[in-house]
């Protein structure tokens, strides 16, 4: 028997269920805070309370994926994962914070655990066509392993000037970092070491829904 919920916790759980049913993924902390008229920290506290009481489950300590559990502690979605692994989709990468302390998430994507291995994986939505020769298309989800280093030729998620996240092929030179696209319409760009922060290595791609019809 799970512990009972306070009125606020019950209202918050109902809000999550309605949002998940409508949007297909959990709200970000910002979205939930704005919808409920409370602070980000209040939303985080409610999530923690529901998780501690066994009413919801997140994929890891800082995961953005949320699964509402039925009274028996099972996935209310009726076995949605089917042996798969749910990876959180990062809404944005903010400067100065560890990847799994970011304040934004945009739901999760279910992947094959035999293909996508490693701890604390995250996914990032691709925008644009700069990596099409590597088979990475606009709207795809790049599944990444958290890392703060890269080897030459690896495709990485890099944070530029503490503001913009980009997915490019990484090359280290003696005096700079080169981020190279996989599209001849774009030119490689070089940056000083102080302008680049590697956030992860791309280990696989989940095709975006707009691309599925052509596969």
Residue 215 reports pLDDT greater than 50:
no
Q: Give how many domains the chain has, as a whole number.
A: 2
**What's the average model confidence in pLDDT over 49-74?**
65
- End position of a domain, from candidates 29, 51, 80: 80
Do 150 and 198 contact (CB within 8 A), yes or no?
yes
Is residue 130 among the annotated active site residues? yes
Q: Which two tokens stand for residue 57?
A: 């489950």
Residue 95 pLDDT > 70, yes or no? no
Catalytic site residue from 168, 174, 189, 201: 168
Task: Provide the pLDDT for residue 103.
Answer: 47
Structure tokens, 132: 């099409």
The answer to whether the beta carbons of residues 92 and 102 sit under 8 Å apart is yes
pLDDT, tens digit (0-9, with 9 covering 90-100), for 24-40: 567 778 888 899 999 98
Residue 211: pLDDT band with limits 50, 70, 90? very low
Q: What domain range is 197 assigned to?
A: 122-214
Alpha helix (H) ranges present in 37-159? 40-52
Q: Which of the four pLDDT bands, split at 50, 70 and 90, describes residue 170? A: very high
Cβ proximity of 62 and 100 under 8 Å? yes
Residue 209 CA to residue 205 CA, distance in Å, equals: 12
The CATH number of the domain holding residue 210 is 2.10.109.10
Residue 63 inside a domain? The answer is: yes
Question: Token pair of 80, please?
Answer: 């949605």
If asked whether residues 69 and 140 sit together in one domain, one would say: no
**Residue 13 contacts residue 68 (beta carbons within 8 Å):** yes
Residue owning tokens 């989800």: 141
Average pLDDT, the chain: 78
Give the CATH number, domain containing residue 47.
1.10.10.10
Burial tier of 204 (Cβ tally within 10 Å: 0-12, 13-18, 19+): middle
Q: Please indicate whether residue 168 is annotated as part of the active site.
A: yes
pLDDT, one tens digit per residue, over 140-158 is 888 999 888 999 999 999 9
Set 28, 63, 65, 130: catalytic member: 130
Range 151-174 average pLDDT: 92
The CA distance from 210 to 56, in Å, is: 31
């Amino acid at each position: 028997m799970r512990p009972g919920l306070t009125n606020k916790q019950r209202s918050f759980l109902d809000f999550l269920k309605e949002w998940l049913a409508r949007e297909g993924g959990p709200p970000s902390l910002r979205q939930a805070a704005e919808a409920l008229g409370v602070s980000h920290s209040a939303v985080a506290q409610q999530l923690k309370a529901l998780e501690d009481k066994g009413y919801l489950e997140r994929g890891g300590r800082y995961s953005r994926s949320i699964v509402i559990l039925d009274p028996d502690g099972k996935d209310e979605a009726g076995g949605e994962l089917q042996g798969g692994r749910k990876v959180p989709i990062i809404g944005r990468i903010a400067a100065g914070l560890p990847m799994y302390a970011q304040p934004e998430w945009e739901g999760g994507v279910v992947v094959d655990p035999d293909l996508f291995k490693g701890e604390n994986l995250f996914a990032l939505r691709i925008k644009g066509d700069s990596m099409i020769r590597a088979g990475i298309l606009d709207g795809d989800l790049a599944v990444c392993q958290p890392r703060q280093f890269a080897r030459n030729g690896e495709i990485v998620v890099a944070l530029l000037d503490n503001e913009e996240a980009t997915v490019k092929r990484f090359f280290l030179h003696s005096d700079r970092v080169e981020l190279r696209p996989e599209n001849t319409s774009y030119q490689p760009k070089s940056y000083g070491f102080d302008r680049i922060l590697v956030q992860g290595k791309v280990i696989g791609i989940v095709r975006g829904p707009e691309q599925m019809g052509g596969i």
